[in-house]
Amino acid sequence: MKKTGNILMMSMAVAALHSCGNGGIFDPDSVQDAGNHISRVEPLSWWTGMKTPLQLMVYGEGIGEYDVRIEGADGVEVKSVHKADSPNYLFIDVVISDTAVPGTYWMVFSGNGESFKYPYEIAAREAGSVSRGSFSTADMIYLIMPDRFANGDPSNDSSPDMAEKADRSAFFGRHGGDIQGIIDHLDYIADLGATAVWCTPMLADNEPEDSYHGYACADYYHIDPRFGSNALYREFVDKAHEHGLKVIMDVVTNHCGAAHWWMEDLPFHDWIHQFPEYTGTNICFSTNMDPNASKYDLNLQESGWFVPSMPDMNLDNPFVLNYFRQWAVWWTEYAGLDGFRVDTYPYNEKGPMSEWCASVLEEYPSFNIVGECWTSSIPQLAYWQGGNANRDGFDSHLPSIMDFPLQEAICKGVPSDSHAWGEGMVRVYDCLSHDFVYHDLSKMMIFAGNHDMDRIGDVLRQNPDRQRIVLAMMATMRGIPQIFYGDEMMFVSKDRSQGHGGLRVDFPGGWAGDETDFFTEDGRAAANAGTDGKPVPQGQIAALHDYTRTLFQWRKGKKVIHDGKTMHFLSRDNTYAYFRYDDTDAVFVFINNSRGKKHVPWSHYVEIAEGLHDGRNVVTGEPVTVSDTTVVGPRQVLVVEYRR
């Protein structure tokens, strides 16, 4: 067996096992004895009352030659044992009956003329866990890249167990942001009007460079020590809940990192997709639904590697699929999660991923999972949403999808001054005119930007007025809005020419010694430059922040925005108007994205505008009566709420 010193030492894994439960009693001598044979047992622990079957993956020198049974109270037993291609793994199916008592159970391994014990904790499931809620259209999701948000604990910036060390000046390096930094600023996030937090992955990523983003996992059951610990992550979730914030975990099932501990000794030859030489994915998502697609192209799409540092997992192997099913449930139960965002969703084998989604939803029926299905094609995007009437009969069971076509329409339409047909705000109108294709509009995440694309501030060429237009659309359109950290103040990239590292800028004030602190009102009021020193008019940063806070604090209690219908009106002068409405309320949005003043053609909207009363400007709070004489200035947006 090859050594696995590139991640967490065996003693740390055993310690983590002990710390993850609710008070089992362990025999130190037996643990030490077992440590000579067993390096890892995953999942780290389990619970009574779970629907998801438990299959333990045990890793240790020659462990495949041992028999195993479980000692302890009645109700927990080994059902079957599976050997792997590697002699250093066992996969153990464990049955936990309804009569099982929470506590510490002992796995007894026998073989080669010896026997030893290893402790395993089965805790009591938290009351109400199965009925946990999740994120919905009532939420605003605040997306954070933890390494670039705030450094709450400088002592963990680097770790002796991890390859890459902190260097805040490194464009693609680790800057030191961590879980404690997020905890320290939960009040800022909640005050902004957010009701949910999505953090990019915080599990161990031990790549020698670019490890800050977390998408090349090296250990699926441990938080990266440069971010904190499992216990601190759970504390983060608890404190977020105290602030009225849900927590969405970013998960990656398609690939692991090249530095993952199992890459030195794979359980099965087909644990990952392997080729005679490096073979990348063709990124051709259409092969999943194209009736004319070849099996050759489909295989490259789902089996080719994302990049050389990210080995592609083989979810067609049932042991791999079981591993990820349990892993998702374990983190939800352990940390008290409120939802998942699944990275690179269409790169996975679609059949097994459908089973994965269904399994999570069987355990948590009200849970929401949103998949990153990055395509400009509206029909192809709709294919991935669970319940969609696909002609091939496929059902992903994936509740929510990210609305990339709308993001593209906004980022191409809002920066444009063109009145040409199909340009400017007509792009947004045209995109939403395809809403008939989608199965469930309430289960779509809308966004103007995220960690993988140009900052919206860059796209809009640092125009604060157009930034307000985008923020207003995020606050009033159908779906679940997501805001990327700093977009509330028009953050811009450090250097767009160098790629993603530049758009993932540090949040000013998140590090000791920062000259400016955008987390505070005083810091925002004093700021007169963008995050890379580019000039922004005095007071605009604070004004944009306050504008965002006003809209999203208002949105929290506005059911017509959460659940209402949409009616929009076409124009060819780079304006756009729409209503969100239900039986009792309506919200009117008029966007003037042109260079000149525009009259609101209120009489055009009579089919829905007639009878509306008690108009109030959402941003200013003042009463307002909109008519054909109402003028909206260039690159301005008017948001008015009414009673019907």
pLDDT at 4 over 50: no
Task: Tell me the CATH architecture of domain 10-125.
Answer: Sandwich (2.60)
Residue among 608, 595, 539, 606 at smallest CA distance from 567 = 608
Encoded tokens for 317: 């192997």
pLDDT band at 177 (very low <50, low <70, confident <90, very high): very high
Token duo for residue 191: 């005050």
Q: Give the span between the Cα atoms of 181 and 506, in whole angstroms.
A: 12
CA-CA distance, 567 to 544, in Å (whole number)? 27
Provide the token pair at 444.
């779509």
Q: What average pLDDT does this structure show over 441-452? A: 97
In one-letter notation, the amino acid at residue 359 is S
pLDDT at 27 over 70: no
Taken in order 257, 261, 264, 270, is the CA torsion positive or negative?
negative
Cα 482 from Cα 476, distance rounded (Å): 12
In the chain, ranges of CATH 2.60.40.10 domains: 10-125
H/E element holding 246?
strand 246-251
* Sign for the pseudo-dihedral over CA of 175, 179, 185, 189: positive
Helix (H, G, I), strand (E, B) or coil at 148: helix
DSSP-assigned beta bridge partners for residue 603: none
Q: What average pLDDT does the segment 422-426 reach?
A: 95
Residue 453 CB coordination number (10 Å): 19
Joined together, the tokens standing for residue 642 give 């009414």
pLDDT band at 300 (very low <50, low <70, confident <90, very high): very high
Q: Give, to the nearest 10 degrees, the angle between helix 230-242 and helix 318-335.
A: 50
Residue 361 scores a pLDDT above 80 = yes
H-assigned helices in 204-244: 230-242
Q: Which amino acid is at 560?
A: V
Q: What angle do CA 412, 210, 213 make, to 5 degrees?
A: 60
Predicted local distance difference test score (pLDDT) of residue 26: 35
CA distance 89 to 86: 6
pLDDT score recorded for residue 115: 93
CB 519 within 8 A of CB 186: no
What is the mean predicted confidence (pLDDT) over 158-168? 96
Residue 243 neighbours by CB under 8 Å, 6+ apart: 186, 187, 189, 190
564-643: CATH topology = Immunoglobulin-like (2.60.40)
User: Biggest alpha carbon distance in the chain?
Assistant: 93
Per-residue model confidence (pLDDT) at position 535: 56
Give the residue-averaged pLDDT of 619-633.
97
Asked if residues 24 and 121 have their Cβ atoms less than 8 Å apart, the reply is yes
Question: What is the mean pLDDT of the segment spanning 397-403?
Answer: 98
Catalytic positions: 343, 372
Dist. CA 202–CA 199, nearest whole Å = 8
**Alpha-carbon span 437 to 416, nearest angstrom:** 27
Average pLDDT on 115-128 reads 95
Beta bridge partners of 484: 143
Average pLDDT over residues 609-619: 97
Span 196-203, mean pLDDT? 98
Q: Tell me the C-alpha distance between 18 and 13, whole Å.
A: 9
Evaluate whether 531 touches 486 at the Cβ level (below 8 Å). yes
How large a percentage of the chain has pLDDT more than 90?
A: 88
Nearest alpha-carbon partner for 572 in 414, 408, 427: 427
Is pLDDT of 474 > 70?
A: yes
Higher pLDDT, 273 or 538: 273
Are 403 and 449 spatial neighbours (Cβ–Cβ below 8 Å)? no
21-30, 110-119, 327-336, 559-568: segment of lowest average pLDDT:
21-30
Task: Tell me what the pLDDT averaged over the chain comes to.
Answer: 92
H or E, element range at 95: strand 89-96
Kindly state the DSSP code that residue 325 receives in the 8-state scheme: H
> Quick count: other Cβ atoms within 10 Å of Cβ 54?
21
Rounded to whole angstroms, how far apart are CA atoms 177 and 154? 8
Does 422 or 262 have the greater pLDDT score? 262
What's the rounded Cα separation, in Å, for the pair 197 and 259?
28
Average pLDDT over residues 568-584: 97
pLDDT at residue 17, as a whole number: 37
CA distances from residue 565 to 478, 485, 562, 568, 569 in whole angstroms, order as listed? 8, 28, 9, 10, 14
What residues does 339 pair with on adjacent strands? Answer: 248
Q: In this structure, are residues 339 and 368 in contact, taking their beta carbons and an 8 Å threshold?
A: yes
Token pair in block for residue 229: 């610990």
Residue 29's pLDDT is 39
Confidence of residue 494 (pLDDT cuts 50, 70, 90): confident
| Strand 46-47 with 114-123, pairing | parallel
**H/E stretch holding 430:** helix 426-432
- d(C-alpha 285, C-alpha 634), whole Å: 40
Q: Within 10 Å of residue 624's Cβ, how many Cβ atoms?
A: 17
Residues β-bridged to residue 198: 143, 248
Phi, psi of 55, deg, nearest 5: -125, 110
Short-list 563, 606, 556, 607, CA closest to 583: 563
Q: In terms of C-beta density within 10 A (0-12 exposed, 13-18 middle, 19 or more buried), how is residue 522 classed?
A: exposed
Reported pTM: 0.94
State the span(s) of the chain assigned CATH 2.60.40.1180.
Answer: 564-643
In this structure, the number of other CB atoms found within 10 A of the CB of residue 241 comes to: 14
pLDDT: which is higher, 15 or 67: 67
* Sequence-distant (≥ 6) Cβ neighbours of residue 222 within 8 angstroms: 7, 8, 12, 13, 16, 203, 204, 230
Query: What SS3 class is residue 73?
Result: coil
Closest CA to 638 of 585, 583, 597: 597
Q: Per residue in 180-193, pLDDT tens?
A: 999 999 999 999 99
